[in-house]
Amino acid sequence: MKIQRAWKYKLILDDSQARTLFLWMSHLRGLYNLALEQRILLYHQNRKSLSWQDQANELPELKEVATWLKDVPSQCLQQKLQDLDKAYDKFFSGGGFPRFKKRGASMSMRFPDPKQFSVDLVRGKRKAFLKLPKIGLLKFVNSQEIIGAIKNATISMSPAGDFFVSIQTEYELTVVANSGPGIGIDRGVTNFAVTSECKVFGLPTERIKFLEGQLKQAQKLLSKKVKGSKNFQKQKLKVAKAHQNIVNLRKDSMHKISNDIANNHGLVVLEDLRTKNMTRSASGTREEPGRQVAQKSGLNRAILRNGWGEFGRQLEYKTAWNGGKVIKVAAHFTSQTCFKCHHVHKDNRNGESFVCRSCGQKDHADVNAAKNILAFGQRVLVCGETLSRGDGKTASRRRSMKQKPLVA
């Protein structure tokens, strides 16, 4: 199994190197906007379009007018034009029309050819260097060993002002079938993830709330600064760093949980959740105002804070690398169905406790739901049944759960 993987490192730069990279990324953003404007004007005038090759051929002439483009490596300029081409391809495939990049956005640059850069590792030490044209050696900590043939490198700048390098490699991965047991996972708000094995995984909510308090305080101080002043820019950077701390803590916890699950289980079954629909605003319209808007807003924040989509994405690729499989099933009635007798009733669940009104089975509500999710996944795997979202067969599915056993 041939896979492509990115290895991300934080760059340790001096002021001169950071200033140079920032200027390069700003120039590339300007080129992107110029190229997009040229395409729009040409289409309105002649109903014709340009490819990135056509615009790349005009770069020598453009450099004579916009001399600031001469500072940036040519391959990075061409790569930015290719990015615009990809944006148009997405638009023709049904996506949104390409937008102009505002200041501070799209702060990245890519070196597509490994001949244009090199990675120098210091033997016996964690210190390493990235050598780039026109700028020299950039230091970073070799926190993880790079595996495979290097394909390209991307330099990016976070809103907090930190610079990172992402080195993409390609290598052959020997996948051995994971003989671990199957597991069902019920993702929730109170409990981040509850498994069918009665194991509860949680995010460091107290630490996250503490960091969110720091973020709120930083935002309050930002609102008191004069917009555009130096103090405003300094405080804006502190707000960005507070955001970054929360994101890093959440991602680190998710990676640890997903590693534990992917390494020890051959089958992982998740609910196919539509997070976008679940987090819609309840404010309504002026003619038909919504109800319990504040409560729904708090629930939306809690759902988005847990990052269900990112957790599912991590589980999918990690499970595949470990020889396992991820199956997504519909979430309908998993919390209302008794795992033992398959009786479905909304009163079976009361908060976090589950008591079946038919057979008297008692269990934790999330554990019962996780067991149902695992059973649904096993039916999909063995019998090939379709239990995904959007099939419009809620009533028939509900009847089938009453009549048929959940495990094949």
pLDDT digits (tens, 9 = 90+) for 97-124: 999 999 877 799 999 999 999 998 876 6
Region 47-68: mean pLDDT is 93
Q: Kindly list the domain boundaries of the chain, sorted by start residue.
A: 1-174, 182-403
Structure token pair of residue 38: 């040229």
Q: Is 253 exposed, middle or buried (0-12, 13-18, 19+ CB in 10 A)?
A: buried
- Threshold 0.85, pTM exceeds: no
**366 is known as an active-site residue:** yes
In sign, the C-alpha dihedral spanning 97, 100, 104, 110 is positive
**14 is known as an active-site residue:** no
Contact between residue 162 and residue 35 where contact means Cβ atoms under 8 Å apart: no
- Tell me what pLDDT residue 175 has: 87
Residue 298 has pLDDT above 70, yes or no: yes
Q: Which distant-in-sequence residues (6+ apart) come within 8 Å of 145 by Cβ?
A: none
- Tell me what pLDDT residue 306 has: 85
CA distances from 108 to 30, 31, 66, 77, 269 (A): 12, 13, 20, 12, 36
**186 is known as an active-site residue:** yes
What is the overall mean pLDDT for the chain? 88
Measured in degrees and rounded to the nearest 5, phi and psi for residue 355 equal -130, 115
* Catalytic residue chosen out of the listed positions 271, 287, 363, 385: 271
Contact between residue 141 and residue 12 where contact means Cβ atoms under 8 Å apart: yes
pLDDT digits (tens, 9 = 90+) for 232-253: 999 999 999 999 999 999 999 9
What pairs with residue 4 in β-bridges? 170
Residue 385 has pLDDT above 80, yes or no: no
- Tell me what pLDDT residue 281 has: 76
* Catalytic residue chosen out of the listed positions 83, 186, 316, 363: 186
Structure token pair of residue 201: 């995984």
- Model confidence at 168, in pLDDT bands (50, 70, 90)? very high
* Catalytic residue chosen out of the listed positions 83, 316, 363, 366: 366
Residue 4 has pLDDT above 60, yes or no: yes
Contact between residue 191 and residue 202 where contact means Cβ atoms under 8 Å apart: yes
User: Is 167 in a helix, a strand, or coil?
Assistant: strand
Residue 64 has pLDDT above 60, yes or no: yes
Region 260-284: mean pLDDT is 85
Q: What's the length of the chain?
A: 408
- Tell me what pLDDT residue 288 has: 65
Structure token pair of residue 206: 């107290």
